[in-house]
Structure 1
């Protein structure tokens, strides 16, 4: 499921990538610890001088960086890497991989993996316990205090710092400004608009909403339910009454206004082709809709009559793979790039404007200077809860999606389907 969720990024992108080379910069550096903890500053302050005199010189290295991005996002990152390589004595070689999960799980144990790779934080616990990651806490020149508390927490496991965060993500309500006068604050208001536009016989719908566990989490957890919580005696909460209520809420409230095929492609197309006033989707989808000429508004998820939507949120980060431990020179290249990438305010703002990335650098998070769409997603992030990093969480996604599919098809009740899902998950854990 983790791969399925991130593959959504590959299914739609911006019409053109923003050229960031004109708004990012990497200083000339004599040691790896002089990487830009201030987002491209001169590096001449006292702390940088102290680092340069207390840590040994490391020869120029080359770091492999793996990622899986939408076409437009990948093009931007390619430009950023070229800028870094032109200005730094170190080198980064980027690779865009459609099967990043499979590649990391096969290459890293074989000693053929990268120094760094980009993904959401939900792999942290699993990958760390499997020995795929490297604790770089003693080698970093950035402080976790520079990031939001959620972002800082997401990149740490068992007191190890296994990466650096640069963006948050979640799903929220998008609306077509030509079809919706003002964003709905309640689900009841949203339903009124959906009813006005829903006419499947003419290819019009009220909502485009891909139904997979990540996208559905807001409502499954809206009434006190949860998928997985390692702090609870019963870690699984799928079959709990509040969670079942949330799943049924999706079936009763949203499914009647959606295209019949609930997969990502048809649901995304309903909104991006101008055939639905609303979509529930993530920041990666903004470019797709805008490319089609949709004037997109972004707002937080509307509230039901009782409860409050609580979507899962993700933190995008550059992971430190255990390939960092093979060569200090190559590790220095990976660290320098990651530190520069996650602290350069100009670059982070450009990513927000071009791709809807939600900054987690404390100096930018929630800033009034952020694009309005990103501010809307930022509000949605505040509604949500971070995905668990516990290794057992990875076994939850698949059976949850399968169970909901059975309920959606009418083959089982939500309750029975989720009881079955919990049994499958426990078997998988063993």
Structure 2
């Protein structure tokens, strides 16, 4: 089963160049719902439209409490501008719900998730290629985002944000970003005092996505379908990265590696550093923590290489019927992913990292979001190959054993690799 990473995070509370798509007619006016395929006409910004049939799109997402109000406001804004309506639902277990509802014909027209499900969901017939119908050109987005929505020549969604993990520091405790691992360790050592509920670092260590910067810092990879040796979990380079993370970070963390106990200590002002993602910023803003975002310092002879994700609106198979409801879904998606005002609001209020080129190359993004955008440049996209689904859990188990002192990195990663190959068989 795929590691349901974003569902866990959202529900905790503390918590090659792409050209224009064939068949594209043009790009709609910024912030206005599209008018393709019999959908709503442009409303000239007056919030109403009388042309074209109306449809009702079913839209699923999984958000934290702090994000839900903004999403509902965005949907209301779309409905006021378009001749369509949206039936939206916040889903607590997106993987379980989509894999059961879509085959039964009860799924949404579109759902929001990171891009790494594409290969698996294409193979299982859950999502559809709608590239020939789009009025949005993929070169409006960053190259990584444009690549992320494609698989085997098809386009299975549209992107709106990127994500990765990077270093966050409490400015009440740390004067400036550390320039080296040694400097970071010195600060963690100075502040770390578990007896008084103070810690050097807040870091969900049982999650391969979070630990990927170090696992892949010395030239290794967890899984790369293009590499001579696809599975690199037990390679010398990945084992070196695991040992580096255990030696340099585990001693300064709370004694539970899971997300909530780790994230909560920094959110309460009781840790000098955190390694977390942009979804975490809304929690920190609610808690009124003074913080800055920076890139991860590099180890000697290495470079942090975190996994990155692209959040996309998937085209579920319900969009294949081509009716008014499918048009409504496509209009909503295209409006959402090209709406500069909305995406900038998301960046300012939620720490979202837009992938729309016009925003990425501008000066309007908050400094914290710019920090995450720089971290994204350090990383590599999560593989979309369906076999990646069998990589997450064995590596998670290995990291947990390392954290608890139950296994050294080398045997733990060798056991994980053995389990992954067994899963593939």
The alignment's TM-score, normalised by the length of structure 1, stands at 0.90
Cα offsets for 1:255-309 (capped at 9, x unmatched): 0011111111111111111111100001111121222221110001111122000
The residue aligned with 1:239 is 234
Find the aligned partners of 2:38 and 2:355 in 1 and give their Cα distance: 23
2:406 aligned with 1:411, yes or no? yes
* 8 Å contact kept, 1:286–1:296: no
Find the aligned partners of 1:381 and 1:6 in 2 and give their Cα distance: 21
With over 3 angstroms needed to count, the CA separation of the structure-2 counterparts of 1:32 and 1:162, relative to structure 1, is farther
With over 3 angstroms needed to count, the CA separation of the structure-2 counterparts of 1:410 and 1:343, relative to structure 1, is same
Q: Which blocks of at least 5 consecutive residues in structure 1 are unaligned?
A: 15-23, 44-56
User: Which deviates further from its counterpart, 95-104 or 180-189?
Assistant: 180-189
Query: How do 1:56-205 and structure 2 match up within 5 A?
Result: 59-205=53-199
Find the aligned partners of 2:408 and 2:34 in 1 and give their Cα distance: 62
The residue aligned with 2:23 is none
Tell me the matched-pair count. 405
* 8 Å contact kept, 2:161–2:311: yes
With over 3 angstroms needed to count, the CA separation of the structure-2 counterparts of 1:89 and 1:403, relative to structure 1, is same
2:219 aligned with 1:224, yes or no? yes
With over 3 angstroms needed to count, the CA separation of the structure-2 counterparts of 1:393 and 1:27, relative to structure 1, is closer
Find the aligned partners of 1:135 and 1:327 in 2 and give their Cα distance: 12
Query: How do 1:225-304 and structure 2 match up within 5 A?
Result: 225-304=220-299
Find the aligned partners of 2:36 and 2:394 in 1 and give their Cα distance: 51
The residue aligned with 1:11 is 12
Cα offsets for 1:118-155 (capped at 9, x unmatched): 00001011101111111111100000010000000000
Cα offsets for 1:380-410 (capped at 9, x unmatched): 0000000001111111100110122222233
Q: What is the CA-CA distance between 1:235 and the residue it aligns to?
A: 1.2
Q: What is the CA-CA distance between 1:214 and the residue it aligns to?
A: 0.5
Q: Which blocks of at least 5 consecutive residues in structure 2 are unaligned?
A: 16-29
* 8 Å contact kept, 1:35–1:336: no
Find the aligned partners of 1:25 and 1:170 in 2 and give their Cα distance: 27
2:325 aligned with 1:330, yes or no? yes
348, 351, 357: which one pairs with 1:356?
Answer: 351
Which SS does the other structure have where 2:292 is aligned?
strand
Find the aligned partners of 1:236 and 1:117 in 2 and give their Cα distance: 30
Find the aligned partners of 1:276 and 1:413 in 2 and give their Cα distance: 26
Find the aligned partners of 2:36 and 2:300 in 1 and give their Cα distance: 59
Find the aligned partners of 1:299 and 1:180 in 2 and give their Cα distance: 12
Find the aligned partners of 1:5 and 1:372 in 2 and give their Cα distance: 24
With over 3 angstroms needed to count, the CA separation of the structure-2 counterparts of 1:346 and 1:198, relative to structure 1, is same
Find the aligned partners of 1:28 and 1:267 in 2 and give their Cα distance: 43
The alignment's TM-score, normalised by the length of structure 2, stands at 0.91
Which SS does the other structure have where 2:254 is aligned?
coil
